[in-house]
Amino acid sequence: MDQTVRRAVERSLELVGESVAQLRQGRPDVARQITEAARIVGFRNVLAHEFWKINPLIVRFVIRERLPNLRVEVAVLRRAEST
């Protein structure tokens, strides 16, 4: 993966983690419905504070295996909030 793309992907995942962290603070009832909320925030912390430990294979795994489920969960939560 190109270095610029890699950094953009890592930054995007960091923002996802920060969003979940903020959701846990402001709307813990909603955040509890996100299956991997704690792991998402933990991964965000690694991306932000321990970036030298980032393994590109783990980033790829998160994108391929974990992100699709998060997208579904967020869509369900958004629909529930809009009704």
- Give the pair of three-digit tokens for residue 77: 């939560």
pLDDT at 36: 96
pTM: 0.91
**Would you tell me how many other CB atoms lie within 10 Å of the CB of residue 66?**
16
Question: Domain of 55?
Answer: 3-82
- Would you say residue 22 has pLDDT above 90? yes
- Residues 6 or more apart from 23 whose CB is under 8 A from it? 30, 31, 34, 37
State pLDDT tens for residues 47-79.
999 989 999 999 999 999 999 999 999 999 999
pLDDT at 83: 83
Number of domains in the chain: 1
The gap between the terminal CA atoms of the chain, to the nearest Å, is 41
